[in-house]
Structure formats: C-alpha cells, structure tokens
Amino acid sequence: MRFGMVGGGPGAFIGDVHRRAAELDGQARLVSGAFSSGPEASRAKGRELGLDPALVFGDYRDMAAAQNSWEADQRIDFVVVVTPNHLHYPVARAFLEAGVDVVCDKPLTTSVEHAEALCRLTADRGRRFAVTYTYTGYSMLREARHLARSGALGKIRRIQVEYFQGWLARDLESTGHRQASWRTDPARSGPAGALGDIGTHGFNLAHWTTGLDLAEVVCDTATFVEGRSLEDDASVLWRWEGGARGALSVSQSAAGAENDLALTLMGSEASLWWRHTDPESLVMRDHGGRTRVLRRGGAGLSPRAAGAGRLPAGHPEGFTEAMANIYRDFLAGTGYPTVQDGARGVAFVDSVLASARSGRWTDASYSPPGG
C-alpha cells in the first residue's frame, strides 16, 4: 500500500507517530505528502523522509488533484490527515472526492455539521475512513471492551475516565510552541480545547468499550492559564442509556501530569481498571474479591486482544503499536474507529460545551448518519 500525509511537518510530533505506525508491519509505505502549507518546509520534510520530490506538495489541494492525473500504480491508496483540527474537514473531503481512503486524527472536525457531511460523503463514495482514537488499538483496552460487552462485569454501573496532561500548565502558546499555538487557538482548534483534544478520547473509550449510548451530561469547564481562549480543564458527569453513571475529568493544565489516561468500568459483578502508565495490564476484580491481572500477550485473552500484539508477553509494546493496530485494521478493512465514531466525538463536544454554557444537565444522545 502507498500512502500520503497531509500535515506532520516540522514541530509536529504526531505525524511521525502515524508514519511509524502505518509502516510498522511493512504493509504500507509513505510515498507522498503535503506536510506543511509552507512549500519549502514541506519539501524539507519530504527530503528528510527520502521521498520522490515529485510527490511532495506545498498545498494539499494540489496533492488531491494530482491523484486523477497519475497512473493507477502511482496513486496513493490512502491519505493520513494530521493537520490542525480546522483543516480536517476540507482535506478529508478533497481526498474522498478524489477517491482516496482517509485516516484522520481526532477530533474529526470542528463542527457537527462538517462531521456529518464527512459521514455522508464517505458512504456515498464507498470509501474507508478511520479516525485515530489511538487507545482503541491497545490490546488490553480491546480486552476491556470484550469483557464489558460480553457481560463479564454484569450490568455496567459506573464509567470513570480521567485524562490529565500538564504540558499546557503554562502559557506555552506565547513562546511560539507550534502545538500549543494551534491547540489553544479557536480558529484552528475549533470551539473546544482540552475537551476536543483529549475529552474525545475519553468519551470514545467509554462508548467503545461498553457499547452504551450517552444520554445526558452536565459539564464544568475552566481556563486556568490567563489569556487563553479555550478551556484547558473540564469535568463532566454523565448518564448513559441503561443507567450507568460516572465522571469524565480532563485537564491539560495540571502541572506535572504526563499523559495520564485511566479507565475504570464498574459493574454489578466485577470491575476493570486500566491505566496508560501500565498499558499492558488490565486488572479485573469480581464481587467475590478475586483479582486477575490480564496481560498483553498472556493467556486467556479474546481474539481481538490477543491479535493486537506483535511481541511475546514481557516485551513491552506501547503507543506506536497501539496506533499500528488501527492501521492494520484499516488496511484489513474492518475493526477500526470509523468516521461515525469521529462524528460521535464531535457531537459529544457539542453537548458538553452547551452544558458548560448553561450550567444544566443537557441531552447528549446522538446518532451519526451513514453508519
């Protein structure tokens, strides 16, 4: 498979993550890109990666347009969209329209309207569209999903997600830090800060592992760093169809936090604990007090979890492999987070921001089109 990338130029950490992940199994190769809107910066990145300069562009529209002028074996099979959020929509649309499958980072778009437009366009064109909710690639979260959905926890009572980062604890954006600049800028990040960047991961994990639909939310947002326009901290109480409750807490201004995501699913029969600091373990304890630690690569895992590893147990895998698992599923055509999952995340952000504004419990039910 040949693929291209839009975004991921100098200073962008996530572009390299996607490249390594997509190429990890030797089944896809990055051949083309519009890495930056600055043509020279884009060419420099292409040279660094050893790409054919003819396939490197300064404008993604030129790259999309080129697809139709190339021979079939010159074209890219899919494009990876790792731009700031506000470009996800136009870039993804351009490539869908050019007949190219899309892998897009989250949040899918900066408005529900755009997200739904992508859902419909993907369906209309019959293309594949993955949204890289990276954590769904972790073997032990796949096992959590299996256990929650198979009834091993009984009825789900509480869904608890914490996601804390500290990198925006100070006014990093004023220093010219590229990532901080666009993520705190409504024009490029969209209406949400921390909720869009990491809150969407938290919501997706909750929905994806349990299969439950969200019903209502109440949300409180805060902006702790002076002069910042978007929230850098948010708390949500959520009510799920079927009665589960719980809380989502996210912050990007918690000094000293690394990338501390934790999921706890509590049920009538058993509960599960997973933490990103020990991603290869999943702790399950039942009402009788029996504790099991399920391990990536270990015995007794469900097929999807067992298949999400490359190394024997005890040889740590991490974030890159999790992302690679999403690419593997995308290439296989099944099991990856879809454009509808992306739309759900955008709708979630919409609901919690509405609640934060009103200070009220707010309807958060949602069903994306084209699913």
Q: Which stretch binds its own copies (CB under 8 A): 84-92, 111-119, 190-198, 308-316?
A: 308-316
For its own copies, which stretch binds (CB under 8 A), given 34-42, 63-71, 72-80, 155-163? Answer: 155-163
Distance, in Å, from the CA atom of 322 to the CA atom of 123, rounded to the nearest integer, reads 26
311 scored as a contact of its own copies (CB under 8 A)? yes
SS3 87: helix
Return the number of the residue (40 or 290) whose C-beta is nearest its own copies: 290
Three-state SS annotation for 45-70: HHHHCCCCHHHECCCHHHHHHHHHHC
Distance in Å, CB of 67 to its own copies, minimum: 22
The answer to the question of residue 157 lying near its own copies (CB under 8 A) is yes
**Residue 318's closest CA among 271, 266, 281?**
281
Nearest distance, CB of residue 100 and its own copies, angstroms: 21
Span interacting with its own copies, options 72-80, 98-106, 218-226, 329-337, rule CB under 8 A: 218-226
Cβ closest to its own copies, residue 115 vs residue 294? 294
Which stretch in 24-32, 63-71, 74-82, 99-107 sits in contact with its own copies by CB under 8 A? 24-32
Residue 125 near residue 96 (C-beta atoms within 8 A): yes
Q: Which is nearer to its own copies, 178 or 310 (CB)?
A: 310
Contact between 361 and its own copies by CB under 8 A: the answer reads yes
Pick one of 149, 293, 304, 366: the residue that binds its own copies (CB under 8 A).
293
Q: How many residues does the chain have?
A: 371
DSSP H or E stretch at residue 29: strand 29-34
Could you say which residues in the range 50-79 bind its own copies, by CB under 8 A?
50
Contacts with its own copies in 95-134 (CB under 8 A)? none
Residue the block writes with tokens 């800060």: 193
Closer of 240 and 330 to its own copies (Cβ): 240
CB of 57 to its own copies, least distance (A): 19
Q: Is 292 an interacting residue with respect to its own copies (CB under 8 A)?
A: yes
Q: Which two tokens stand for residue 259?
A: 């990338």
174 scored as a contact of its own copies (CB under 8 A): no
Question: Which residues ranging from 231 to 290 are in contact with its own copies (CB under 8 A)?
Answer: 233, 235, 237, 239, 243, 245-247, 249, 251, 253-260, 264, 266-271, 276-279, 283-290
State the Cα–Cα distance between residues 277 and 281, nearest whole angstrom. 10
What is the number of helices (H) and of strands (E) in the chain? 13, 14
In three-state form (DSSP H/G/I as H, E/B as E, the rest C), the secondary structure along 343-357 is HHHHHHHHHHHHHHH
Cis peptide before 107 (omega within 30 of 0): yes
Phi, psi of 112 (to 5 degrees): -60, -35
Does 8 sit near its own copies (CB under 8 A)?
no
CA distance 36 to 288: 56
Residue among 120 and 360 whose Cβ is closer to its own copies:
360
> Based on CB atoms, which residue is closest to its own copies, 319 or 366?
319
Main-chain dihedrals φ then ψ at residue 50, nearest 5 degrees: 70, 30
Distance CA(230)–CA(354), nearest Å, equals 14
In the complex, the smallest distance separating the C-beta of residue 65 from its own copies, rounded to whole angstroms, is 26
